[in-house]
Structure formats: structure tokens, C-alpha cells
């Protein structure tokens, strides 16, 4: 695994650009500027109203990309010129001069409350939503898949080709790793984000071989480096006879092109040989060919790493293959062969994953593409970014649609924990209120409940951390691997009732007395 | 609308990078190289097996991005170094030297057959799939939404915040335009791709105003430029009295903060004023406030462009608002007001779109986000990239899963047309066969049919065009707007039976005699 890289050049490529935004952010910028309100201090909150996939938890992700974006935020000349071309031709040129000087040096971000000049924090809406929404969705999806798979299966994300274009794929690989996957097939995610990468061979590699090709150098030295080099292809043919005799198969059955491909791959990767078994027929061709190559390598002191299946009944085939590995490893005294890895892929969703992860399954590695990347059960998270205060005054959207109402005012958020460390509820309160105290009773109003609850937390954790103050990073961002460990730790503390994937108990989120009173007074006044 | 820009600097940012690929492409590259086969001539085909969304057509899109990617394809030092870090440490350094020199100068691409050196065309698999798959999916989705909406409604894509990260959004905006949308909210898609952009204001702009703010300059000159400047805010208050009297509402009901926001926006955009009506209450506040501002502007010779609704029953509100526009425009002799645009948004999917597009609907503009960008009905298109020939010999994947079998050999594809220009069927044949002739009978084998069909096309169109030959572009790429017009023209020729969105008649795709015979002989031989 490579270290996470972050030089300026890569950052410029990876991060969103200032014009990756909805046009109305620019029209509103002109509106604020024309009204003399561009520099007024404002605060927005970025949040989602419900957990995705019918679950009761979500991982909030995307901080890293948001911080990168904020620090680099600056409209270039070409950007301002383009905006000028789509705004009215009689727009005051002073507005464009103003835009040229705009950056995030007055913006403060505890994730994800965003405070700063009204014009600037409005401009940030769309890119921040874009950076957080899908990242959180796929991290949560990955966490669900990890819960289904259990801790021992190796989960690989391989959905790049199913993502929404290049950066969709990069985002997917990064945040499925954060959510609990072990790695990705996506090389760029390894290079730019330090995600562990994995991959071996596709069917095309195998079908490209007829078996008539003559390798320029079929010779392989023993693993220990001592002893003469041997002709691997010739040794494989000898082993094939013994394998076929043991399996009761004719030596003509296994496809010679497939065997040539395995030999070619083994010559390139003698210490990391893996066979893809289902190009022609697993039982009649792929498995005997693989075994012949694995045993020939074994004779030279190399250990094949495993096999992959990409079609058919994956679980059943894995069980059969493991049985064959056991008898062959005994028969030919290669004990390591018994436990080599069986990897599977092919459109695996939540249901099939549960089957593959059941007790007694011989599957070790599970590659998931489409269903982790596209989140088919809910392909978007309804993140919103709402104005909660301007000039220190709370703001609230008082629409006739109660679903779309917002909670006004600059806020703080705390997680109240039981003595065993498990979370009891989260509480939102006004920023100026005293934080809840451990061991002290507190009255709160859970959303959706008719009455107040009185709770006595054993511990209190603040949920909003200040990451960017006046444009400057307050503390180093955690590495991706650290964020991944933190996410898994947080999940491990959550009660199984909330972690249940179907019909979980909702996790309570409550308002403080004061916040609830502010909402009530604004609702009664009909005005913010 | 800005011209489509394509300087090198932007291209480098927009296109996929060589390491945006699955690791197994690199491991296979090493395998081919070690087997002495890196330069062998090979051909891959990129295709999908079924049309998405249960429909019978698809728009194939993404050519532009593929061509950009191919022309820029080159592994930089840092890329090769990263690959070296994830491949076995004892890999022959000559392999990495080989990779440094790799580019697409020997690659030939009729969209999308990709021919060239085996190692290179294998490396291209994942990025090409990534560039074509989602582009085609969203273009097709947009085409379906256009079919539902009919030709007259203005359709705007506004799903950037729901896309899979930054480039997911850029791809979505570009290809939903190609598929038939009129424009996008995404400014970057305007700047980089020439997509028409649109946008006005969000609820946050409105809630940011209390009505106590003092604009630095409330004065506005008449549209014609002649005559004294007037205090717009004061004129709006005068008009509000008249509007409220006409509507039978108290003048205290409309929210003053909302009115201040409208005035601020009108001062910034006197020629492009649009009101977002549902921040507080459409009937009690948004509509009277909008009318007061629109009439005050009208008095000065400016015409408001319209209103937007973002919640509630969009169709019913549009009907009511249009009635009010009609009576107000008569009452105050501003006839243009009757027909200003009513735009709607709020989670609009296929079903709601059909309702909004029904006969007599007063909705003019429909903004769609989530359901165009995420394609919730089928969030990925199963594009594959399969080896069809190596060294001039056909290759076929003969798996036990018939769904995953491929059609072997280098091929040509033709569309056979009826005399009225409507497509009859598409035929696939071997590249060496004579093209079908107009007016001459032809025997073909439709996929899925038991018997041959004899057809006599009135016209024959080749479907594969050569875009890149030995790394060079053969003809200029069409502009995005040209591609959009071509897609709409193609769709207009397709029979309504195939265009039907639910349970359409499948469009026939047939094999030539020779191609069918090749498939049969490879299946019988069990070997490629």
C-alpha cells in the first residue's frame, strides 16, 4: 500500500473546481452583492434528513475533499470570464472584480457547519453537497455490506467501470474503503488516496491464448533461487496428467489456451499466481489447469495464492473447489494448497453476499462492483445545505411542507453515551448553550416524540469539530486509513438494534429545551 | 451559450487518466509482456447486452471523452513508479521501461471496436468502460424523460449535488443534454462542454432577508434607459397594495423578508427577474410578492421571466398561478404577464413528469435532479469490453453461462432501413464480408429467433465509423450540440413500438450467415 499523496498538482486534479456549481449560486452572489450584503456573516448547515437504505445509521464522509476544495477555492480569470458570459451583459463590472478576490480565508467550518461571508458561503453550497453526499452514501453502503459479510471476509470494491465517469469511480473507491472494504481494483485510488489495490486477470487474458504461442522464455528458477531453471510449461503438462488421473478426467478436456494463459501469468507472477477458473468450464478445464500450474509452481517452492470465480453458483462451486483442494493437497503433499484463497465476483448484492458469508462458506474474498458503487437500493442521499443564521440572527425556512422545514440558529451537537460507551442519543442545541454534563440529568426533546425525555449521560462527546478557521486548517486531517478505523470503531459501539439492516430501531436525535423553544417561537411568529 | 472549449489544459483535467483503471489491467500487461505478446494485434469490442430501463433503445454516448482519453494516453513517471510499487518487487525493470513508451499511436477505433497492440488495448478496458457506460446510461435516461415530456417543455438537469462526486456531475450534465435536455444548472458543464446553463435563486437567498435591510442603492432606471430612476422598493410597496386588493388578501400577509429578497434580486437582474414562490406560502406570500415586484418592473418597461415552485402539488399550483397571471395581466394591462414561464422542481421522476406534461398543463420548465442523474430505475449499464480477435484469429468466450458468451471476430455493423427511413433491423457481420446492398434481398439471423429472416432494405447505413486510426483523429468530432441533434434525429426515425417506454417491441439485431456459422463452429469445436 502506498502512502497517501497530496501534492498541489494532484490536489488541483482531484478536488472540485469553483465553477462545479449550480448557476443560481452565481446569480445569488450577484444578488447579495447588489444588495450590499456580500460580507455579512452567515452560517449554513449541511445535513441529511434520513439515513439511507432504510437503515438507522449513516457514516458522514467527504471531509477531506471538502477541506481540499475550500483551501483551493479561488475563481480564476477564465472562470470569472465565463460567469460574465452567462450573467446579464449590463452587470456591473465591479461585481466581477469582487469575485476575482473571493476565497475562503474568512470561512470557518466545523464539519459541516459553514460560516463566513454570505456571498462566499452561498457559493460553496453545490460543491460541498456534491463532495459529501455521495461520499457519505457509499461509505454507509460499504458499512452495510461489511456488516453483512462479517469481519473475516476480504471485501474488494471493483466498480470503477460502473461509476458515474472518472471521478465517480475515484470517489467510490475511496469511500467504500473508508466504509469498511479492504481495498479496490482502482489503481488511481491507490495512487492518489492510498487505498490498497488488488487485481489479477480477466477472461480476455485467457481467451487471448490459443495454446500454440511460444513463450520467449518458459524457464523459471526455483523460489529459493538455488538449483537449475526448469521449463514451467513442460512441468505443467506432466502435472496435468497426474491431476487428471486423480480427478478422473481425460487429459484432453482442459482447454490448452487457458493452460497457456495460466502458465504465462505464472511466469510473470510466480509468487502471486491466481487462476480465473470459469472462462470455459470450471470443473472440466479451469480447475485442472489451475491445479497443474499450482503444483508445478509448488514443486519449485512457490505457493499459488488462489482462484477466482466469476459466474454460476459461487457458493456451491467454492465448496466443491475446497474439497478438491483438500484431497489434492493430501494426495500430493502440498498442505498449503488446502487453504488458498477462493475469490468470487459477479453482480453480488446484499442478498447474495449474505449467502456467501454464511457459516461454513469456503469463500474468502468477495469482489463487489455495481451494487457498492451505484447503491441501487437508494442511489442518492438527500443532503441539503440550509441557511441557519445571518448577522447572528437565526433563520428558518417556514415552508408549508413540514418535511422541508429547517432548524434555525447556529448550533452545537453532542452524543450522549451510556456507561458502557454505547450511544444513547444525539442532542442538538444552540451554540450559546452550556454543553451537556456527564452524570447530570438533562431534559431533551427527541424528534418525533410527543414528550420530553430526561436522560443522564455517563459521557458526552461533542460531534462538531472545528477543521477550518478563517480559511486555515486547525489540525491535520486524519489519513484515510485512520478515518476508516474511526468509522469501524464508531459502528462497533452502536447497539445491534440500530445496526440491524432491516427495520432497525431508529436512533434518537433530540433538541434542547432552548432550541425547541426557538423553533416554536419562529413558527408562531410566521417569520424568521 | 458559450462555445465548447477544448484547450489542452482543460482536456488534461477533464479526461480520465491512465491509472484510472483496474489493477488487473496492469497485471495482465505484465503477463502479456512476459509472454512476448505485448505487440500482437488484437481487437476488443465494447458493447452492452440489453437496453436499460426495460426499454428497447439506448443512446450510445461517450465518444468524445474516449477520444480525448486515447489521444492523451501516456503513463507518466509517477504512474509507472506507482505501478512498480504494487507489482511484485522482482518484476523485470524492462517491463516498466516498456510501459513508459506506451501510447495509443497504434490504436484504431471505430466506436467502439478498439484494435491495436494487445498490451495497450487491454490497458484501455476500464477507462473506456467508465467513459462510455454512464454516459450512455444517462443519455438514454434523458431521452426517455424527453419522450415523456414531449418536445415543448423546457427540461433542465439540476442534479450536480446528487452525482457521484465532481466528475459524476460533469458527465451527468453533459450527457443529459446530449440525450435531449435543454440545459443544466452546472456551470462547469457550461464552461467546459458548452452546455447551456440556467439558474436563479434558492430558498436560502430568500430566508437571508428579514426585510429590515437597507439596500445601498434601491434606484432603478427604466428599461429603455430614458427617464428618471425610481426607488424600486417603494414602487413595489405601492403595487403590493393593488395586488392584495385584487387578490382579496391583507397587505400584511406577504412576508416582507421574501419581498426584500425579490427586490434585491430584481435590482441585480431587472431583465431576468424570476421569483421562487414557496419559501413561506405560495398563495399568501410568494405569489403576491412576486406580482408586486413584476408589476413594478413592468411599469419601468422590464418583463419578469417567470416563477419557480419547489414543493407541494406542482401541477395544481401551476394551474392556479396561471389563472392569477391571466386576471392580473388583464386588470393591470400588462399582457406579457399572462404567459410568463412557470418552472417546477422537487424530486420529479418519470411518473410525475408525465403528470406535469399532460394536455393543458401550465408548466413550462421542469427541473430534474436526482432521477436523471442517478437513473434510479437502473443505476448502471452493463457495458463490457470483450476480446474478439488476436493476430487476426477470432476469439470467443465459451463459458458455461450462455449469457456471458461473446460474438467472435472483427465485425462490421449496418442498420437496414425501410423506404420511409425507419430502421428495420441492425445486422452484425464479419468485417471481411460484403456490406448489405440497398434493394437487394439478404438472409439474416435475428438474435433470439429460431429461423432466418429474409429482408430487403431500402437503404443501408454503416454503424461503425472510424474515428481514430493509428492514434490520429480521422475527422473532427461533432460538437456536443451536433451530437444532441443527431441523437434526436435518430430517435425520431425509430418506430413508436420500439420507443414505447413500457414493454416496447424489441428492436431486432441479427447476425449474418457467416458470423452465425463462425459462432456455431467455435461452439462445436469447444475451442477458439
User: How many angstroms away from the CA of B450 is the closest CA of chain A?
Assistant: 25
Average confidence score pLDDT of chain B: 87
CATH of residue A93's domain is 3.20.140.10
Residues of B in contact with A383 (CB under 8 A): 161
Which residues 6+ apart lie within 8 Å of B292 measured at CB?
Answer: B236, B237, B239, B240, B243, B254, B259
Has residue B52 been placed in a domain? yes
User: How many angstroms away from the CA of A465 is the closest CA of chain B?
Assistant: 23
Q: What CA–CA distance (Å, rounded) separates A451 from A402? A: 19
Q: What CA–CA distance (Å, rounded) separates B286 from B391? A: 70
Give CA separation, A177 vs A59, A158, A483, B286, in Å. 12, 11, 10, 46
Across the range B130-134, mean pLDDT stands at: 85
Residues of A in contact with B125 (CB under 8 A): 161, 202, 204
Q: Are A372 and A176 contacting, i.e. CB atoms less than 8 angstroms apart?
A: yes
Has residue A406 been placed in a domain? yes
End-to-end CA gap in chain A: 52
B276: phi then psi, degrees, rounded to nearest 5 = -95, 115
Same domain, B443 and B401: yes
Confidence band, pLDDT 50/70/90 cuts, at residue A15: low
Same domain, A510 and A468: yes
Hey, which bits of A347-500 come out as E strands?
Answer: 365-368, 384-390, 393-394, 411-417, 423-430, 442-446, 453-455, 459-462, 466-469, 472-473
Confidence band, pLDDT 50/70/90 cuts, at residue B102: confident
Q: Do B30 and A373 touch (CB under 8 A)?
A: no
Among B374, B393, B412, the domain-final residue is B374
Same domain, B83 and B126: yes
Has residue A2 been placed in a domain? no
Which residues 6+ apart lie within 8 Å of A157 measured at CB?
Answer: A142, A172, A173, A176, A177, A181, A183, A184, A185, A186, A367, A368, A369, A372, A373
Across the range A51-77, mean pLDDT stands at: 78
Residue A229 has pLDDT above 90, yes or no: yes
Q: Supply the pLDDT for residue A461.
A: 93
Q: Supply the pLDDT for residue A438.
A: 96
More confident position, A472 or A253: A253
Has residue B1 been placed in a domain? no
Confidence band, pLDDT 50/70/90 cuts, at residue A22: confident
Q: Do A399 and B278 touch (CB under 8 A)?
A: yes
Q: What CA–CA distance (Å, rounded) separates A80 from A97? A: 9
Interface test mutation site (partner A, options B208, B372, B381, B527, max chain A beta carbons within 10 A): B208
Range of the domain at B113: 7-141+378-526
Across the range B24-47, mean pLDDT stands at: 80
Same domain, B349 and B413: no
Q: Do B86 and A190 touch (CB under 8 A)?
A: yes
Q: Which of B303, B232, B251 is CA-nearest to residue B273? A: B303
Give CA separation, A331 vs A299, A324, A348, in Å. 14, 10, 34
Beta bridge partners of A41: A117
Q: Do A401 and B269 touch (CB under 8 A)?
A: no
Has residue B2 been placed in a domain? no
Same domain, A350 and A473: no
Give CA separation, A2 vs A305, B22, B84, B86, B501, in Å. 21, 16, 11, 8, 48
Residue A2 has pLDDT above 60, yes or no: no
B154: phi then psi, degrees, rounded to nearest 5 = -90, 120
Range picked from A378-382, A522-526, B197-201, B292-296 for highest mean pLDDT: B292-296
Q: Which of B425, B426, B386, B427 is CA-nearest to residue B409? A: B386
Residue A119 has pLDDT above 90, yes or no: no
Q: Is A266 left (phi over 0), alpha (psi -120 to 50) or beta?
A: alpha
More confident position, A234 or A23: A234
Q: Are A282 and A174 contacting, i.e. CB atoms less than 8 angstroms apart?
A: no
The per-residue pLDDT for range A138-166, each reduced to its tens digit, is: 999 999 999 999 999 999 999 888 888 77
Q: Supply the pLDDT for residue B11.
A: 44
User: How many angstroms away from the CA of A520 is the closest CA of chain B?
Assistant: 16
Same domain, A58 and A193: no
Across the range A376-401, mean pLDDT stands at: 83
CATH of residue A261's domain is 3.20.20.70
Has residue A1 been placed in a domain? no
How many other CB atoms are there within 10 angstroms of residue B419's CB atom? Answer: 8
Q: Do B267 and A17 touch (CB under 8 A)?
A: no
**CA nearest to A128 within chain B:** B161
Q: Do A20 and B162 touch (CB under 8 A)?
A: no
Q: Are A413 and A427 contacting, i.e. CB atoms less than 8 angstroms apart?
A: yes
Three-state secondary structure call for residue A271 = coil
Of A26, A134, A311, which has the smallest distance from its Cβ to B187's Cβ? A26
More confident position, B182 or B121: B182
More confident position, A22 or B395: B395
Q: Which of A153, A155, A299 is CA-nearest to residue A230? A: A299
Tally of CA atoms within 13 A in the half-sphere of A106 that contains its CB: 14
Residue B153 has pLDDT above 50, yes or no: yes
More confident position, B31 or A374: A374
Among A374, A389, A411, the domain-final residue is A374
ipTM of model over 0.85? no
CA dihedral A405, A411, A417, A421 (to 10 degrees): 110
Has residue A320 been placed in a domain? yes
Same domain, A331 and A314: yes
Q: What CA–CA distance (Å, rounded) separates B299 from B228? A: 13
Residue B14 has pLDDT above 90, yes or no: no
Q: Are B319 and B211 contacting, i.e. CB atoms less than 8 angstroms apart?
A: no
Q: Which of B154, B207, B208 is CA-nearest to residue B185? A: B154
Range picked from A57-71, A361-375, B68-82, B89-103 for highest mean pLDDT: A361-375
Q: Which of A359, A268, A361 is CA-nearest to residue A318? A: A361
Residue B111 has pLDDT above 90, yes or no: no
The per-residue pLDDT for range B244-271, each reduced to its tens digit, is: 999 999 999 999 999 999 999 999 899 9
Interface test mutation site (partner B, options A30, A166, A196, max chain B beta carbons within 10 A): A166
Same domain, A265 and A362: yes
Q: Do B205 and A28 touch (CB under 8 A)?
A: yes
Q: Do A208 and B118 touch (CB under 8 A)?
A: yes
Grid cell listed for A122? 452561498
Q: Supply the pLDDT for residue B109.
A: 61
User: How many angstroms away from the CA of A207 is the closest CA of chain B?
Assistant: 6
Q: What CA–CA distance (Å, rounded) separates B59 from B48? A: 11
Three-state secondary structure call for residue A467 = strand
Residue B8 has pLDDT above 50, yes or no: no
Same domain, A228 and A337: yes
Same domain, B33 and B161: no
Which residues 6+ apart lie within 8 Å of A333 measured at CB?
Answer: none
Q: Are B464 and B410 contacting, i.e. CB atoms less than 8 angstroms apart?
A: no
Across the range B30-36, mean pLDDT stands at: 81
Q: Supply the pLDDT for residue A527.
A: 47
Hey, which bits of A182-324 come out as E strands?
Answer: 183-184, 219-220, 230-231, 274-276, 306-309
Same domain, B368 and B391: no
Grid cell listed for B32? 502479456
Has residue A125 been placed in a domain? yes
The per-residue pLDDT for range B164-176, each reduced to its tens digit, is: 877 778 889 999 9
Q: CB burial class (10 A; 0-12, 13-18, 19+) of residue B283? A: middle
Q: Supply the pLDDT for residue A111.
A: 61
Residues of B in contact with A404 (CB under 8 A): 311
Same domain, A332 and A253: yes
Interface test mutation site (partner A, options B6, B40, B161, max chain A beta carbons within 10 A): B161
The total number of structural domains in chain B stands at: 2
Q: Do B400 and A312 touch (CB under 8 A)?
A: yes
Q: Are B274 and B305 contacting, i.e. CB atoms less than 8 angstroms apart?
A: yes
Among B374, B405, B439, the domain-final residue is B374
Amino acid at each position: 500500500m502506498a502512502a497517501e499523496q497530496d501534492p498541489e498538482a494532484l490536489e488541483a486534479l482531484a478536488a472540485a473546481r469553483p465553477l462545479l456549481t449550480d448557476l443560481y449560486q452565481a446569480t445569488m452572489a450577484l444578488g447579495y452583492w447588489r444588495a450590499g450584503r456580500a460580507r455579512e456573516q452567515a452560517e449554513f448547515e449541511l445535513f441529511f434528513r434520513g439515513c439511507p437504505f432504510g437503515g438507522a445509521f449513516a457514516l458522514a464522509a467527504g471531509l477531506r475533499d471538502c477541506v481540499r476544495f475550500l483551501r483551493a477555492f479561488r475563481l480564476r480569470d477564465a472562470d470569472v470570464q465565463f460567469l460574465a458570459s452567462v450573467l446579464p451583459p449590463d452587470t456591473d463590472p465591479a461585481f466581477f472584480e469582487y469575485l476575482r478576490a473571493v476565497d475562503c480565508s474568512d470561512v470557518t467550518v466545523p464539519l459541516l457547519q459553514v460560516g463566513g461571508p454570505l456571498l462566499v458561503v452561498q457559493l460553496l453550497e453545490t460543491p460541498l453537497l456534491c463532495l459529501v453526499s455521495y461520499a457519505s452514501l457509499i461509505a454507509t453502503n460499504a458499512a452495510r455490506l461489511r456488516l453483512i459479510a462479517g469481519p473475516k471476509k476480504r471485501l474488494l470494491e471493483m466498480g470503477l467501470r460502473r461509476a458515474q465517469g472518472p471521478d465517480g469511480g475515484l470517489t467510490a473507491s475511496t469511500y467504500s474503503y473508508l466504509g469498511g472494504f479492504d481495498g479496490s481494483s482502482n489503481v488511481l485510488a491507490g495512487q492518489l488516496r492510498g487505498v490498497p489495490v488488488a487485481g489479477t486477470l480477466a477472461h480476455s487474458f485467457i481467451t487471448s491464448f490459443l495454446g500454440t504461442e511460444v513463450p520467449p522464455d518458459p524457464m523459471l528458477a526455483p523460489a529459493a533461487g538455488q538449483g537449475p531453471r526448469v521449463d514451467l510449461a513442460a512441468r505443467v503438462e506432466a502435472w496435468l496428467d497426474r491431476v487428471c488421473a486423480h480427478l478422473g478426467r481425460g487429459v484432453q478436456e482442459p482447454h490448452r489456451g487457458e493452460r497457456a494463459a495460466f502458465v504465462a501469468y505464472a511466469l510473470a507472477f510466480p509468487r502471486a499466481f491466481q487462476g480465473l477458473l470459469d472462462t470455459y468450464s470450471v470443473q472440466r478445464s479451469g480447475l485442472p489447469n489451475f491445479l497443474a500450474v499450482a503444483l508445478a509452481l509448488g514443486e519449485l517452492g512457490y505457493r499459488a495464492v488462489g482462484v477466482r470465480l466469476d459466474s454460476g453458483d459461487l457458493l456451491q462451486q467454492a465448496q466443491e473447489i475446497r474439497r478438491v483442494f483438500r484431497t489434492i493437497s493430501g494426495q500430493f503433499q502440498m498442505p498449503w494448497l488446502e487453504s488458498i484463497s477462493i475469490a468470487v465476483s459477479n453482480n453480488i448484492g446484499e442478498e447474495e453476499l449474505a449467502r456467501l458469508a454464511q457459516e461454513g462458506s469456503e469463500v474468502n474474498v468477495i469482489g463487489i462492483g455495481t451494487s457498492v458503487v451505484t447503491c441501487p437500493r437508494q442511489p442518492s442521499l438527500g443532503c441539503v445545505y440550509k441557511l441557519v443564521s445571518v448577522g447572528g440572527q437565526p433563520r428558518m425556512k417556514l415552508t408549508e411542507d413540514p418535511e422541508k422545514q429547517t432548524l434555525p440558529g447556529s448550533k452545537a451537537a453532542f452524543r450522549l453515551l451510556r456507561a458502557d460507551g454505547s450511544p444513547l442519543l444525539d442532542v442538538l442545541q444552540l451554540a450559546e448553550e452550556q454543553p451537556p454534563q456527564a452524570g447530570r440529568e438533562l431534559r431533551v426533546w427527541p424528534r418525533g416524540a410527543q414528550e420530553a425525555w430526561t436522560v443522564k449521560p455517563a459521557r458526552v462527546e461533542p460531534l462538531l469539530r472545528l477543521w477550518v478557521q478563517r480559511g486555515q486548517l486547525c489540525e491535520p486531517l486524519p489519513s484515510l486509513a485512520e478515518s476508516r478505523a474511526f468509522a469501524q470503531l464508531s459502528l462497533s459501539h452502536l447497539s445491534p438494534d440500530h445496526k440491524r439492516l432491516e427495520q432497525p430501531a431508529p436512533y434518537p436525535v433530540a433538541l434542547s429545551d432552548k432550541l425547541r423553544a426557538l423553533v416554536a417561537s419562529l413558527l408562531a411568529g410566521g417569520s424568521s
